């Protein structure tokens, strides 16, 4: 009976050491083993991992696909017709070590902020190089691909893989919509006036021929 407390103490100590020695990585994560802030190992496959207790610690990163919604951007295409654009991107961590070097302890939040800045800059650059008609037409798919390709190149420095970029909305601002509506209305009125003028001219020719 006297040995029971000692045995329980030994078992508790062993459990404590085991708890601080082994770690589990599931399929949604990547893990990095650090020793005094330096990377000692990276585990990307799910399963059991090992670290030196009390000396090394483990940082887990979400390996699932993430999404970013940008705030509404005002861009100016070549024809100076301002557009309001909302963009969306999907991304995931590709290189855990590079990711940690790039974003530090800020992790996913810092990465999202950096990626949003990259995305905003590329949206403005690409859409600013074409006319607004291209943004508002089927050409938008090609423009999204250009934005994605540029974002992929820049995001590599973050250890991130940009999977897809989409323009969710590309509209004229309200004041531009009003101006566009008025311009379309004026064009239709001019076309109607031209049509009436041609009709009157034709009627006059018919009457002139009848008078002969």
- For the segment 61-105, what is each residue's pLDDT rounded down to a tens digit? 999 999 999 888 889 888 888 888 999 999 999 999 999 999 988
Helix 107-127 vs helix 96-103: crossing angle, to nearest 10: 90
pLDDT at residue 12 above 90? Answer: no
pLDDT at 14: 66
Contact 39, 33 (CB under 8 A): yes
Q: What is the DSSP letter of 72?
A: P
The percentage of residues in the chain with a pLDDT greater than 90, rounded to a whole number, is: 42
Q: Average of pLDDT values for 162-169?
A: 92
pLDDT at 207: 62
pLDDT tens digits for 16-60?
666 778 888 999 999 999 998 888 899 988 889 888 888 989 999
Spatial CA neighbour of 102 closest among 56, 155, 58, 148: 155
pLDDT bin (cut points 50, 70, 90) of residue 179 is low
Per the confidence metrics, is the pTM higher than 0.75? no
Residue bearing the bigger pLDDT, 164 or 196: 164
pLDDT at 128: 92
pLDDT at residue 186 above 80? Answer: no
Q: What is the DSSP letter of 71?
A: P
């Amino acid at each position: 009976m006297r040995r029971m407390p000692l045995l329980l103490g030994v078992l508790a100590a062993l459990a404590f050491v085991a708890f601080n020695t082994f770690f589990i990585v599931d399929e949604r994560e990547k893990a990095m083993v650090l020793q005094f802030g330096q990377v000692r190992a990276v585990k990307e496959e799910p399963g059991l991992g090992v670290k030196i207790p009390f000396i090394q610690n483990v940082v887990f990163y979400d390996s699932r696909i993430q999404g970013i919604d940008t705030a509404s951007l005002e861009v100016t295409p070549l024809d100076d017709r301002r557009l309001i654009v909302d963009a969306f991107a999907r991304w995931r961590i590709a290189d855990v070590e590079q990711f940690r070097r790039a974003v530090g302890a800020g992790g996913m939040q810092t990465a999202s902020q950096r990626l949003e800045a990259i995305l905003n800059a590329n949206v403005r650059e690409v859409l600013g190089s074409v006319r607004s008609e291209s943004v508002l037409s089927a050409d938008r798919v090609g423009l999204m691909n250009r934005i994605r390709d540029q974002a992929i190149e820049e995001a590599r420095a973050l250890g991130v893989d940009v999977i897809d970029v989409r323009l969710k909305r590309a509209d004229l601002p309200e004041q531009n919509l009003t101006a566009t509506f008025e311009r379309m209305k004026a064009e239709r009125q001019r076309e109607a006036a031209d049509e009436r003028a041609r009709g009157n001219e034709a009627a006059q020719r018919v009457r002139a021929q009848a008078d002969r």
